Chains A and B, each alone.
Chain A
């Protein structure tokens, strides 16, 4: 794992029925995912609202990834499709607000596909490292440095 990723934080909203189980399986399989990922278990990605994503950024996340079931396999039939539309809307709002929309992403994995989940998490971490800390965190750090000096 790249040590630079400590500078950034990524929140991963993982569906209980797929991605969360896949993350669990990744552990059993000794597959490593970046250490700056913070997993939040959700009952279904369809439960997530636009404000959850925005609040995550507001509270210090540099990236947010939503991992739901494969399309057509949602435990609640279409929760992941609802989430997809909300993520797309939130991406537009983020761009309007001055953050890169690449910081928010949705992926689909099955409970059995730990390898795919880890790949997605690594790609997300790489994207965030390329983009650097979010403008919000940069501003906060600058303020803290000013206070210290």
Chain B
């Protein structure tokens, strides 16, 4: 899922300073699961903004709404009335959600209330970790399902850098060495021979480095 984190209230005050009627718009999908922009977080941020408005005399009228998915026009439809009634939208969706709303409402200022961080999973309660860099050319099958592109700080594709200490990454000692995990996993599934293969330099043109990406499925087009 997409993992995001809320911006601070002073940042939001700066962003919204020009407006009076503000809609805080949540998203019921990824950002709900990572506790950043779902119904509950919308309620918390709305309360905090109302408190800030009264405490600092900003004169805001802040309303709230959460739709199932901000990146989908079918769901955005449910927010049309609320968006049109307000001067500005503070979207608590991911970057894709913010842009989907902005593209749909050409004359309405739409702001991001979250910093979209990465594609990851809930590691344990309250901890999310990055698992996928969306590089566009997945090599997970070669590494026992552990991604060296994302989880190795040096993106090493042909073995460890040699700097890890006690299974910990040299760059981020709070994270496990991805290559330690890859070796253990390949050993467990009896595929250590995969490590004999030399992986050629990765083609980054399929990643964001090659420019914004698009997927066209002719079989689904009308």
Contact = CB atoms under 8 A, between A and B. Distances in A.
Interface residues of B, number: 16
Contact of A51 (B8, B43, B55, B57): B43
Interface stretch (B46-54, B169-177, B181-189, B209-217): B46-54
Contacts, number: 49
B80 interface: no
B18 interface: no
Contact of A139 (B8, B44, B57): B57
A130 interface: no
Contacts of B8: 96
Nearest to A50: B44
A57 B54 CA distance: 11
Which of B10, B47, B56 is most buried by chain A, counting CB atoms within 10 A of its CB?
Answer: B47
**What size tier do the contact residues of chain A reach?**
10 to 19
A51 B46 CA distance: 9
Contacts of B50: 58
A97 B40 contact: no
Given A93-B9, A96-B8, A96-B10, A55 B54 contact: no
User: A-side binding surface: helix, strand, loop or mixed?
Assistant: helix
A68 B99 CA distance: 44
A94 B40 contact: no
Given A51-B43, A97-B51, 11 more contacts: A50-B44, A51-B47, A54-B47, A58-B50, A96-B10, A97-B9, A97-B49, A97-B55, A98-B52, A134-B55, A136-B51
15 contacts: A50-B44, A51-B47, A54-B44, A55-B47, A58-B50, A96-B8, A96-B52, A97-B48, A98-B52, A98-B56, A99-B51, A99-B55, A136-B51, A136-B54, A139-B55
